């Protein structure tokens, strides 16, 4: 019994000790503090309490508030309350306008200035600055956008051009305020308000030029900010709006049915100005950012420049097809831009030792613009001749300065010239089809073969300065393949033409197929012989494809002929080639 009482007493002491420890912890009492408090000293909690007689609450309330503090009211209610009062002020101005106390235009001007005041005041809010800035900027947009809608569409108080000027001013003020305060949300909201309101008003008023002006001006302002290092998330949105507006205006003017009923007239000069403005905005932006500020092309800038060229130049071409004399000017502009891109690539960036994304982007734009300019200005034959000359120039210059990119561009010019002139198609028909050699020498085929041969020799010479990388080797093999294909066409067409001229046979003679297969056999042996030389080993890569081509001709053409003598000769030639090729390789290897 005594032991049980002793255990209970110990447990009570432990509980009492724990309670005292928790109380000391809640009152922030130090463990080394004296057990008997100093009468003159103040309690740690009481030190932070106001003196009696100075509006202090009762002692019990003070202790409870000190131990359990009440959180402060969140500033969001103050921000929302201020925004609500701002909207109330807008409705007050509308009520004054409806009461005709003041002229409607005066009330409209007051409402516009009221919205701008909210936008300017947005970054100067104190509590929760970012939240308040966002809410107050939205308040400015919610005041201005409905006001412009009603004044333009419902009451016809202002003209669309006046509305567009107000929207541009609102967006520019937002950009200026954002740049000065360092808060991009102001610019984003003002830009969205300007673009969104312009889009809605364009659809509602059927007046395209004023609001296209808004899109282009906002896009230009945002690109100017980007050039100055002020990055904005709405950059792509402004670009998309400008692209779509110019595209819509181009379609409305150039579609076969004409301008739809109800739309305001779109002068040709206004449309051309918008197309060129789109080009100038983004060309200037990327030039400043990449050359003057040393930035790298972004995916957005690359894609947007391509779209600007496509919409601007393509739209100008559609406009010029309706009788305008703008075609030479458009082609000249494209060629000038292409030459500038080439100069920037190989005179500026290459000398700086920069062969990164900017170099390849500028050089790619250069070749695309030159191709487009030539295609716009010249006929098929004229463009093919110019591209053949450019192929020789690029391959020669690439070897002289050691620029593999110029070599590749020369190959592209050559391939496109052969396709446009019809040389590749003529060679294919002479070799694989039933077309006979024409009465006169086909100039496109001869010229193409001559330029392809000269281009390959220049590429071989360029290997001294460029080296022997896999990409340059692939380029040389492609040049050799183009040359061989043209030679095959010339050989097949020439043999058939000579045979027909000597024996005056009918068009469908069976020996025509044998002669074409013989041309493949002869060219294959010639290619194998040339490819065994050290400087022309690119041709050796073509021997096996030529063997497959000969087999394809046997299966698809020679076996279908009625005269067995012709088939015998075809099989004899092909078999002799298969036997001669290994011996030719061994003989060259020994020598």
Give me 24's structure tokens: 């000391």
Lowest mean pLDDT segment, chosen from 147-156, 350-359, 370-379, 514-523 = 350-359
More confident residue, 581 or 23: 581
The overall average pLDDT reported for the chain is 84
> Can you read off the two tokens belonging to residue 483?
């040359």
Q: What is the pLDDT of residue 171?
A: 95
Structural tokens at position 535: 């400087």
pLDDT at residue number 220: 96
Asked if 216 contacts 247 with a C-beta cutoff of 8 angstroms, the reply is: no
Confidence tier at 184 by pLDDT (50, 70, 90): confident
| Mean local confidence (pLDDT), 190-203 | 95
pLDDT at 61: 46
In this predicted structure, what is the pLDDT of residue 20? Answer: 63
Q: What pLDDT sits at residue 589?
A: 59
pLDDT reading at 107 higher than 80? yes
Comparing 193 with 95, which gets the higher pLDDT?
193
According to the model, what pLDDT value does residue 324 have? 58
pLDDT for residue 115 is more than 60: yes
> Which band of pLDDT confidence, cut at 50, 70 and 90, is reported for residue 587?
low
Whether the Cβ atoms of residue 529 and residue 540 lie closer than 8 Å to each other: no
* pTM attached to this predicted model: 0.76
Alpha-helix residue ranges (DSSP H) falling in 150-207: 160-181, 184-205
Residue 37 has pLDDT above 60, yes or no: no
Structure confidence at residue 499 (pLDDT):
87
Measured CA to CA, the distance from residue 405 to residue 367 in angstroms comes to 11
**Least trusted range by pLDDT, from 38-52, 453-467, 559-573:** 38-52
How far, in Å, CA of 458 to CA of 386, rounded?
Answer: 18
Q: What is the pLDDT of residue 84?
A: 85
Q: Which of 402, 403, 317 is nearest to 363 (CA)?
A: 403
pLDDT at 45: 41
In which band, very low, low, confident or very high, does the pLDDT at 371 lie, cut at 50, 70 and 90? very high
User: Residue 54 pLDDT more than 60?
Assistant: no
Higher pLDDT, 38 or 431: 431
Residue 233 has pLDDT above 80, yes or no: no
Rounded-to-integer distance, Cα 157 and Cα 164, Å = 14
Task: Please report which confidence band the pLDDT of residue 23 belongs to, taking 50, 70 and 90 as the band edges.
Answer: low
344 with 297: CB under 8 angstroms?
Answer: no
Residue 31 has pLDDT above 70, yes or no: no
Q: Where does the pLDDT of residue 13 fall: very low under 50, low under 70, confident under 90, or very high at 90 and above?
A: low
Quick: pLDDT tens for 251-302.
Answer: 999 888 888 888 999 998 899 999 999 999 999 999 999 988 888 999 999 9
Give the span between the Cα atoms of 237 and 187, in whole angstroms: 13
For position 43, what pLDDT does the model report? 44
């Amino acid at each position: 019994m005594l032991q049980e009482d002793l255990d209970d007493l110990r447990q009570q002491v432990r509980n009492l000790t724990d309670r005292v420890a928790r109380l000391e912890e809640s009152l922030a009492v130090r463990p080394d503090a004296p057990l008997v408090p100093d009468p003159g000293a103040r309690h740690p909690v009481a030190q932070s309490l106001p003196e009696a007689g100075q509006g202090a609450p009762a002692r019990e309330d003070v202790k409870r508030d000190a131990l359990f503090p009440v959180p402060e009211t969140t500033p969001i209610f103050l921000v929302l309350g201020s925004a609500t009062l701002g909207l109330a002020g807008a409705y007050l101005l509308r009520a004054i306008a409806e009461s005709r106390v003041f002229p409607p235009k005066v009330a409209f001007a007051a409402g516009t200035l009221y919205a701008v005041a909210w936008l300017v005041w947005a970054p100067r809010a104190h509590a929760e600055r970012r939240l308040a800035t966002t809410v107050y900027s939205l308040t400015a947009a919610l005041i201005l956008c409905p006001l412009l809608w009603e004044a333009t569409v419902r009451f016809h108080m202002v003209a669309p051009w006046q509305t567009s000027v107000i929207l541009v001013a609102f967006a520019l003020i937002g950009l200026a305020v954002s740049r000065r305060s360092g808060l991009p949300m102001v610019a984003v909201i003002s830009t969205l308000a300007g673009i969104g309101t312009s889009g809605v008003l364009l659809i509602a008023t059927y007046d395209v030029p004023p609001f296209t002006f808004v899109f282009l001006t906002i896009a230009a302002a945002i690109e100017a900010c980007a050039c100055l290092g002020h990055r904005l998330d709405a950059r792509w949105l402004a670009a998309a709006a400008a692209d779509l507006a110019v595209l819509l205006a181009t379609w409305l003017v150039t579609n076969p049915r004409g301008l739809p009923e109800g739309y305001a007239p779109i002068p040709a000069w206004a449309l051309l100005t918008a197309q060129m403005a789109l080009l100038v905005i983004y060309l200037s932006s990327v030039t400043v950012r990449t050359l003057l500020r040393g930035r790298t092309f972004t995916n957005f800038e690359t894609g947007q420049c391509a779209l600007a060229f496509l919409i601007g130049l393509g739209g100008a071409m559609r406009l010029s097809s309706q009788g305008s004399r703008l075609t030479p000017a458009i082609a000249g502009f494209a060629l000038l831009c292409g030459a500038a891109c080439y100069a920037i690539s190989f005179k500026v960036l290459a000398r700086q030792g920069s062969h990164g994304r900017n170099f390849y982007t500028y050089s790619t734009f250069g070749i695309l613009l030159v191709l487009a300019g030539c295609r716009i200005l010249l006929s098929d034959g004229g463009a093919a001749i110019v591209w053949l000359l450019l192929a020789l120039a690029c391959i020669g210059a690439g070897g002289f300065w050691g620029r593999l990119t110029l070599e590749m561009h020369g190959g592209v010019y050559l391939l496109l010239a052969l396709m446009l002139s019809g040389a590749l198609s003529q060679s294919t028909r002479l070799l694989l089809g039933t077309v006979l050699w024409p009465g006169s020498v086909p100039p496109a085929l001869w010229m193409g073969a001559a330029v392809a041969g000269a281009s390959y020799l220049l590429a071989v010479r360029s290997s001294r300065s460029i080296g022997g990388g896999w990409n340059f080797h692939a380029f040389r093999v492609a040049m050799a393949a183009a040359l061989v294909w043209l030679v095959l066409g010339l050989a097949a067409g020439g043999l058939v033409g000579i045979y027909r001229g000597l024996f005056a046979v009918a068009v469908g003679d069976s020996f025509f197929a044998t002669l074409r297969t013989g041309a493949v056999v002869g060219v294959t042996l010639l290619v194998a012989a040339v490819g065994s030389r050290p400087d022309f080993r690119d041709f050796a890569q073509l021997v096996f494809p030529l063997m497959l081509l000969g087999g394809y001709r046997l299966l698809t053409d020679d076996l279908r002929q009625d005269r067995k003598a012709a088939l015998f000769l075809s099989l004899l030639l092909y078999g002799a080639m298969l036997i001669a090729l290994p011996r030719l390789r061994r003989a060259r290897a020994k020598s």
